[in-house]
Amino acid sequence: MRFLAVVLIVLVVALSAQEPVYVNSLPADPPYYRVRYEGSNGPGELVFSASYTVWIPPGVKTLRGVVVHQHGCGEGSCKSGQTGAFDLHWQALARKHECALISPVYEQPEKANCALWCDPRNGSDQTFQKALSDLGSRSGHPELATVPWALWGHSGGGLWAGAMTLLHPERVAASWLRSGVPSMRIGEGKPAPFSINDAALKVPVMCNLGTKEGVTVHEGQFARVWPNVESFFLEFRGKGGLAAVSIDPLSSHDCGNQRYLAIPWLDACLTARLPGQPGEPLKPMPENDAWLAPLDPLNPQSNIPVPAPQFQGDIKKSVWLPNGSIAKAWQQYIKDTAVPDNTPPPAPYNLRRSGNELTWEADADLESGLGKFIIERDGEMLTTLPEQAKNPFGRPIFQNLSYSDTPTQPPVQMRFTDATAQSGRNYRYRVAAVNTAGLKSNFSPESQASNIPRPTLQSWFGSTPKIDGVIAPGEWADATEIKGGRDWTAEFSPVGDDADLAMKGWIKHDAEHLYFAFEITDDLLYGIDTDRWLPKENAKAHDLTREGYPWFGDEMEILLNASNTWKGDEDVEGSGSSWQMVCNLTKSRLGGVGKGGLLEGEPRTSETAWNNYHRWILEGAQKAAAKRKPDGHGYVIEWAIRFDPCIEINPGHYYSPELGIRDVGLNIALGDLDTPQKGAGNFGDFHHEQWWAGAKHTRTHKNNFGTLRLMGRKGKGAN
């Protein structure tokens, strides 16, 4: 017992010494989520600490599955798993099938026994499933705990993925095993062998390795990979399993170009097997689509696939492929890994310019990922990013690749600074994506001018205010303060004096609502200090219908883009995803003309948007109070916005402080009507309309919005 205690103490000390190595500096803000568990010395429990990072595709209402990217053995490989969920190419596969992408990291010390995690029976199975459940709760996707798995593993991760396939075949849609397979024979120093049951035989399995791992090179550290793979394949295929072997003719134990076959292969399997409805079992692979090929590792030219009914060889030793398209890709891969592709990547989007810096977003091409970006300035090519892509293990790729098929650190950003730009010039920029097969996307919409203001605010977790149009002492002390007026973007006549128009505001949130308060200084209140005059453009301006002008009067507007994404110059949709609402001092939906409060905003041309806004007001999803200040020189607005249904960050999923920090797009307008004479020459004779973010004439475009950072459960002053 004393010896055992010493061993455990040494192990704990060793693990503690490893912890700094595994600190993950990559943030896990939505759509990323992360959990971490300490190692345990309990019977059957995982001895190593482990973390799990998952990416949830934005816009997915209900997940259909999870793609698992599992690293191999050793400290370097384990640490490389920290970036797996951030891989844009693997995200493209997950997005297509409405699946999550998860990358486990088992914090194995360099010389520790890898089998303590890569054999799932040693605790990694139950810890993995616990992580799925906990991440499901954190992300608002509880179905993550029960959806099917598409498994990819390298080296020890291949052993793990194969073993999970044999242990849980009913959960596994397909399994790609790179340079590692479960042990099927009793051997000294090996884990207890696994058995193959009938359910496992229905799971497509691809055994993938490099030719230098025992196929053409028979000495060295990895010479036993091929004999182990061959043994597993022949036993699995010999029992009728849907197994294949793909040998990379260029690589050793690194992952090479395998992703250009792995991702299309998994795509084909997920397309065929994912159930139509949540909770239903996986579908069987269609028998009529299968192709077969002989397996001659030393003569790949002879491995010609044919439709299954035409195959003349020994079926128990044949390579099983899901369809003709994958069969042709496999044939090219085993020849030179140059899997063909004729589909260009999608165009980049959300292109922004701040000074000389460009930022944008892009989705990877499913077949060939992202190789680089082309940046144009004023219609002429400026540069590529990167100028020279590098990847020592395969095709050059934008995110770079590690030995273990994950992006390198620090992560490459979609960001470029134009050092040759001349001061004062307003350049037009566009960006196009190029995949690793050399195919170019369409260009993005042109960037907006660099002088467009896009400020940022923070909303802290705070107390619940009373929405009564009165700023009570201390009521907003725990909120972020904002001031504005003459320094905001002027859509009409500029404001020259704070006594004419100025605003002081506050922003915060609690568990269910986002709150705004505005204290406006205004020297002349429309409809109170003036007649209720009408604009020549619309005699029905005060009709509380879609024909009216809800913003005609002294008013505030809030525009919110919950997903904080856009494709071009579009305005809000009028839904929980993005909207524009009005609080007018002298008219409202609930009080009619003469009483201030909320009104349905833009786009009034959309009946759907109007109906959404109308329902929100009647049902209390948004509430506001507008009152004249006691001194008569202005007014106060207090406004409550319920997260559900008004801040829909993904379809069917609404913001909650439990989701942590989240950025949403925001704009705020301050309108001051005054008299027709003061606003003469402006639309509707409007005197002032000041905007917190955006440019004149384009301030309602989502790409002109500023940023509101919702700080989760953090209160004001928190680190």
- Strand order across the beta sheet in which 357-361 lies: 349-354, 357-361, 415-417
Pick the last residue of a domain from 262, 281, 300: 281
Residue 480 has pLDDT above 50, yes or no: yes
Given pLDDT bands bounded at 50, 70 and 90, which one contains residue 20?
A: low
* Residue 597 β-bridge partners: 584
Q: Are residues 230 and 119 in the same domain?
A: yes
Average pLDDT, the chain: 93
* Residue 635 β-bridge partners: 520, 628
Paired tokens of 161: 């993925």
Residue 291 lies inside a defined structural domain of this protein: no
Q: What's residue 719's pLDDT?
A: 61
CB 181 within 8 A of CB 175: no
pLDDT in tens, 28-54: 988 999 999 999 999 999 999 999 999
Would you tell me the crossing angle of helices 124-139 and 156-167 to the nearest 10 degrees?
80
CATH number for the domain that contains residue 164 = 3.40.50.1820
CB 507 within 8 A of CB 480: yes
In eight-state DSSP terms, residue 603 is -
As a whole number of angstroms, the distance between CA 470 and CA 467 comes to 8
CATH number for the domain that contains residue 620 = 2.60.40.1190
Quick count: other Cβ atoms within 10 Å of Cβ 186? 9
Q: Are residues 601 and 661 in the same domain?
A: yes
Given pLDDT bands bounded at 50, 70 and 90, which one contains residue 3?
A: very low
Q: What's residue 66's pLDDT?
A: 98
DSSP of 473-513, one letter per residue? TTTTTTSEEEEESTTSEESSSPP--TTTEEEEEEEEE-SSE
Q: Are residues 546 and 481 in the same domain?
A: yes
Residue 342 lies inside a defined structural domain of this protein: no
Q: Measuring CA to CA, which residue among 111, 134, 114 is closest to residue 47?
A: 114
As a whole number of angstroms, the distance between CA 490 and CA 688 comes to 7
Residue 314 lies inside a defined structural domain of this protein: no
Across the range 357-363, mean pLDDT stands at: 93
Q: What's residue 448's pLDDT?
A: 61
DSSP of 270-291, one letter per residue? HHHHS-SSTTPPPPPPPGGG-E
Q: Are residues 147 and 210 in the same domain?
A: yes
Q: Which helix (H) or strand (E) holds 438?
A: none
pLDDT in tens, 271-285: 999 999 989 999 999
Q: Is the peptide bond before 386 cis (omega within 30 degrees of 0)?
A: yes
Q: Are residues 413 and 471 in the same domain?
A: no
Q: Are residues 506 and 421 in the same domain?
A: no
As a whole number of angstroms, the distance between CA 325 and CA 328 comes to 5
Given pLDDT bands bounded at 50, 70 and 90, which one contains residue 450?
A: low
Kindly report the backbone phi and psi dihedral angles of residue 58, in degrees, each rounded to the nearest multiple of 5, phi listed first: -55, 135
Residue 173 lies inside a defined structural domain of this protein: yes
Q: What's residue 5's pLDDT?
A: 33
Q: What's residue 449's pLDDT?
A: 56
Given pLDDT bands bounded at 50, 70 and 90, which one contains residue 149?
A: very high
Would you tell me the crossing angle of helices 324-336 and 259-273 to the nearest 10 degrees?
160
Contacts of 401 (CB under 8 A, 6+ apart): 255, 391, 393, 394, 407, 408
Alpha helices in 104-155 (DSSP H): 115-118, 124-139
CB 184 within 8 A of CB 217: no
As a whole number of angstroms, the distance between CA 412 and CA 409 comes to 8
Q: Are residues 423 and 513 in the same domain?
A: no
CB 598 within 8 A of CB 612: no
* Residue 519 β-bridge partners: 504, 636
pLDDT in tens, 364-386: 999 999 999 999 999 999 999 99
Q: Which of 177-191, 345-359, 559-573 has the lowest mean pLDDT?
A: 177-191
Residue labelled with tokens 């303590």: 116
As a whole number of angstroms, the distance between CA 305 and CA 706 comes to 55
Sort 150 into a burial class: Cβ within 10 Å, 0-12 / 13-18 / 19+. buried
Q: What's residue 19's pLDDT?
A: 47
Q: Are residues 707 and 637 in the same domain?
A: yes
Across the range 115-143, mean pLDDT stands at: 96
Q: What's residue 21's pLDDT?
A: 66
Residue 15 lies inside a defined structural domain of this protein: yes
As a whole number of angstroms, the distance between CA 680 and CA 686 comes to 8
Q: Which of 155-159, 242-246, 349-353 has the lowest mean pLDDT?
A: 349-353
Residue labelled with tokens 């969920």: 85
Handedness of CA 589, 594, 595, 598 (dihedral sign): positive
Q: What's residue 265's pLDDT?
A: 98
Across the range 394-422, mean pLDDT stands at: 93
Q: What's residue 63's pLDDT?
A: 96
Single-letter code of the amino acid located at 437:
A
Nearest 5 degrees, angle CA 429-CA 561-CA 610? 120
Residue 353 has pLDDT above 70, yes or no: yes
Domain, as residue range, for 84: 2-281
Pick the last residue of a domain from 264, 281, 298: 281
In eight-state DSSP terms, residue 369 is B
Tally of structural domains, the chain: 3
Residue 501 lies inside a defined structural domain of this protein: yes
Residue 306 lies inside a defined structural domain of this protein: no
CB 98 within 8 A of CB 63: yes
Q: Are residues 422 and 474 in the same domain?
A: no
Q: Are residues 123 and 245 in the same domain?
A: yes
Residue 87 lies inside a defined structural domain of this protein: yes
Q: Are residues 597 and 674 in the same domain?
A: yes
Pick the last residue of a domain from 251, 281, 311: 281
Handedness of CA 172, 45, 74, 92 (dihedral sign): positive
Q: Are residues 58 and 95 in the same domain?
A: yes
